[in-house]
Amino acid sequence: MNTTQPQSPSLSKAVMVFSGGQDSTTCLIQALTQYDEVHAITFNYGQRHIHEIDIARMLASKLGATSHKVMDVSLLNELAISALTRDSIPVSTELMDNGLPNTFVPGRNILFLTLAGIYAYQLGAEAVITGVCETDYSGYPDCRNDFVKALESALVQGMDRPLRLVTPLMWLNKAETWALADKYGKLELVRDQTLTCYNGIEGRGCGECPACKLRQHGLDEYLANKEVVAQQLAAKSPTA
């Protein structure tokens, strides 16, 4: 008599770097359909608008993340001087002398993705998901695909364990990102309940800062050309 019990398939697990903004919320919505467990992690680095952490908590619970960890990384604030870490520095649409916007926080994604990778190691997760994007990025060097691939290689070598850094939005523009949210029936939630605005206004935002303008331009483009944009999304992300 064979008493061997059938092996249960292993659970697929992912860690979601989650800010509560449009991009990471859209990625979380998608990830929840692709993995058995999605563990959200939000970083408190003394950012300009601490309210985004409350938004992240609310959305992680509402959308059904397996768990949600908020990690204190305030040391980043001590090192990185930016309009997003100093209330005394107004958000500017002009580039600094180094060619970067003054909302760039140097080292932010290096730190966030490294810590998320360590967390994934502890959870036995196979992937870390981040909403960075090279197509509609704001000039941030740590949102580029080459950076993500380089860090992925470093994490795999440094921890001697397979790990993927997954970037579902890397080659999508903002209109296509809205189409992705709409595909999962969550466009209104992303529009009304996320926080992307550099001035800390939930939902549609202030309408004046660079983040709000980019977000609204993408939404207007999607709503005006839904079928075309949906086709573009399908061509870029056939498994989305």
Tokens read off for 104: 């760039």
Q: Do strands 67-72 and 127-129 pair parallel, antiparallel, or not at all (unpaired)?
A: unpaired
Confidence of residue 83 (pLDDT cuts 50, 70, 90): very low
Tokens 């309009």: give the residue. 83
d(CA 193, CA 173) in angstroms, rounded, equals: 21
What pLDDT, on the 0 to 100 scale, is given for residue 211? 84
What pLDDT, on the 0 to 100 scale, is given for residue 215? 94
Q: Binding site for ATP, residues?
A: 18-28
The answer to whether residues 172 and 129 touch, using CB atoms and an 8 Å cutoff, is no
What pLDDT, on the 0 to 100 scale, is given for residue 110? 87
State pTM to two decimals.
Answer: 0.86
Within 13 A of 217's CA, how many CA atoms are on the CB side? Answer: 10
d(CA 59, CA 70) in angstroms, rounded, equals: 13
Q: For the chain, which domains are there?
A: 13-173 (3.40.50.620)
Q: Cα 122–117–121 angle (5° rounding)? A: 20
Q: Binding site, residues?
A: 18-28, 197, 206, 209, 212
d(CA 127, CA 203) in angstroms, rounded, equals: 29
Pick the more confident residue, 105 or 176. Answer: 176
- Helices 22-31 and 174-183, axial angle in degrees (round to 10): 40
223-236 pLDDT, tens digit each: 999 999 999 999 99
Smallest CA-to-CA distance from 25 within 178, 236, 206, 230 is with 178
Confidence of residue 138 (pLDDT cuts 50, 70, 90): low
Smallest CA-to-CA distance from 130 within 140, 121, 143 is with 143
44-65 pLDDT, tens digit each: 876 656 788 999 999 999 999 9
Residue 73 has pLDDT above 60, yes or no: yes
What pLDDT, on the 0 to 100 scale, is given for residue 172? 95
Tell me the average pLDDT of the chain: 85
Q: In one letter, which amino acid is 128? A: V
d(CA 131, CA 29) in angstroms, rounded, equals: 12
Residue 76 has pLDDT above 90, yes or no: no
d(CA 236, CA 229) in angstroms, rounded, equals: 11
Q: In one letter, which amino acid is 167? A: T
d(CA 213, CA 215) in angstroms, rounded, equals: 5
Cα 78 to its chain centre, rounded Å, is 23
Backbone angles phi, psi at 42, to 5 degrees: -120, 140
Please list the residues that pair with 42 across neighbouring strands: 70
Q: Binding site for Zn(2+), residues?
A: 197, 206, 209, 212
